[in-house]
Structure 1
């Protein structure tokens, strides 16, 4: 039985770094990789990938564009991982990133979370800790953090 690993991406150029990390530390014969991208619920037109109606495109153009960008990033990440020989799936969640990552890791009974970290000033970390720091504080499984600028 394959063990689950969650890769939390954000559709930025840092995604390729996270995918490379996962491929370096996971094995296709041991791990199933799950790509997760969480978008703010105000930018989620649908809970699951689905075609947008003309009315949705006219009323929520920015949200449609954001969701399409997220869906494309997930599809590209899954394709990259599958090309590397992994069993891989992807999902989009309309939720706060920390909550989405933790919920998905628990639901999949993951043994590892792979995610990014952006450099912040000390003051910035004090005022609003990073997503990776918040996840680290709330999970009891290893978190592999790739540094992204």
Structure 2
């Protein structure tokens, strides 16, 4: 059985299917779900930065947009899973998605990672391997992948 599940989301159309897959794999009342989204660290802002103004007076609206969007992705999934009766925590991280997923799966002692996978052409895989492929190679636990033929 899977008790601690890590659910990395990236805001693609596939995210809803990943959340539904996580709900099927988890056990209501027993499993703890951790929904996460990773933002480029250059765009990650804290809730205190909500006005987009740095101490030196410069604004960075793009960073706020990225952090806010990631927060909405996580909050939406958390709300959906809580309505289904699950214990859920949401997390925002800055950094490389692959590193953040593997590091947090280890830190949270995840029993299972549930994530989406984009289909890439051979050229795309050579120039920029998918995060899911990299996670599959280095994950500290099993990985359940929702594939989408239309993406």
TM-score between both structures, scaled by the size of structure 1: 0.90
In 2, Cα distance between equivalents of 1:147 and 1:50: 37
* Deviation of 1:29 (Å): 3.0
Cα–Cα, structure 1 residues 83 and 22, in superposed 2: closer, same or farther, change >3 Å? same
Alignment of 1:136-147 (within 5 A): 136-147=136-147
Q: Distance in 2 between matches of 1:54 and 1:14?
A: 30
TM-aligned CA deviation for residue 50 of structure 1: 3.6
Cα shift readout 1:59-88 (whole Å, capped 9, x = no counterpart)? 111110111111111111100000011000
Sort the Cα spacing of 1:54 and 1:133 in 2 relative to 1 into closer, same or farther, 3 A: closer
RMSD across aligned positions (CA): 1.7
**Matched residue count:** 146
- Segments of 5+ residues of structure 2 without an aligned counterpart are none
Moved more, 138-147 or 86-95: 138-147
Stretches (4+) displaced over 3 A = none
SS in 2 for 1:141: coil
Unaligned runs of 5+ in 1: none
Is structure 2 residue 21 aligned with structure 1 residue 52? Answer: no
Alignment partner of 1:75 is 2:75: yes
CA contact (8 A) 2:52 2:64 kept: no
Give the superposition deviation at 1:58: 6.0
Cα offset, 1:31, TM superposition: 1.1
Distance in 2 (alpha carbons) for counterparts of 1:36 and 1:24: 18
Provide the TM-score with structure 2 as the length reference: 0.89
